[in-house]
Amino acid sequence: MLHRSLKDNARSSDPKWMSVVVHMLLMASHSEWDAHYNGSRKKLKPGQFVTGARVLGERAGVQKDKVISIWNDLEADQMIQTQRGNKHTLITFVNWKQYQNPSTLAGTQAGTQERRKPDRNKEGNNKGNKETGPSAEEIYAAYPRKVGKANAIKAIDKALKKTDAGDLIRMTELYAQCERSKSNEDRKYTPHPATWFNGERYNDDPKEWVGPNGILPTDNAEPRQIGGVLKCH
């Protein structure tokens, strides 16, 4: 959930600041997740994620030095805590539960919107909403190959009946990251999305998704944590 109080921050008029903060919110884990950090496995809590200033800057369209400056400002404002390692930084949103729990927003506009939220089952998975997770359209957008959209959406809707939407998009993003690291020639063999989702490939062991030159997307590739999922370089 993106809380309206964010716009009240004195730095919110800086588009680079806003871009970095919003991307950080999107990257934060919404549930506990095992990640690699500083050469060992660490269980991330809701509101935490592992990234690097360069990686975050690429996603937000902001230079690395500016990202670090924004991190320092956020720490000074007690919005985040950082634990910096050799290559990656563990970031924790301090008041994550307060701003992500609809029950704490009673009486606010966000709380009112939560109470008026339409039934997802009536509207269908294609529309999605902030509370129940990404929609089929968003998951399709995360897949690395854009062909056969109608059949892909049907396959994703089918998958959503078996798998949590958040888990599904995380695995899709992980697979996409590994596929995009390959050469253009190798990417010609990326399965059509309908084939991938109908085959329940999102349940594969990510170690089977080999990156360029045979590098695996987990331990041997020194993965980074983005939005609760390990990503290969």
For residues 4 and 109, the answer to whether their CB atoms sit within 8 Å is yes
- DSSP, collapsed to helix, strand or coil, labels residue 101 as coil
- DSSP, collapsed to helix, strand or coil, labels residue 232 as coil
The yes-or-no verdict on residue 193 having pLDDT over 90 is yes
Q: For 83-91, what is the mean pLDDT?
A: 82
Cut 0.85: pTM above it: no
The yes-or-no verdict on residue 209 having pLDDT over 80 is no
Query: Over the chain, what is the mean pLDDT?
Result: 76
Q: Identify the top-confidence range among 34-38, 120-124, 183-187, 191-195.
A: 191-195
User: CA dist 164 to 99, 179, 195, Å?
Assistant: 22, 23, 19
The yes-or-no verdict on residue 160 having pLDDT over 80 is yes
Q: Is 216 exposed, middle or buried (0-12, 13-18, 19+ CB in 10 A)?
A: middle
pLDDT for res 72: 92
CA 191 to chain centre: 22
pLDDT for res 107: 46
Domain covering 14-97: architecture:
Orthogonal Bundle (1.10)
Q: For 141-156, what is the mean pLDDT?
A: 91
User: CA dist 122 to 12, 118, 128, 137, 165, Å?
Assistant: 36, 8, 11, 16, 17
The yes-or-no verdict on residue 66 having pLDDT over 90 is yes
- Name the residue ranges covered by the structural domains of the chain: 14-97, 119-221
Structure token pair of residue 212: 């360029």
Return the higher-pLDDT residue of 164 and 101: 164
The owner of tokens 């030095």 is 65
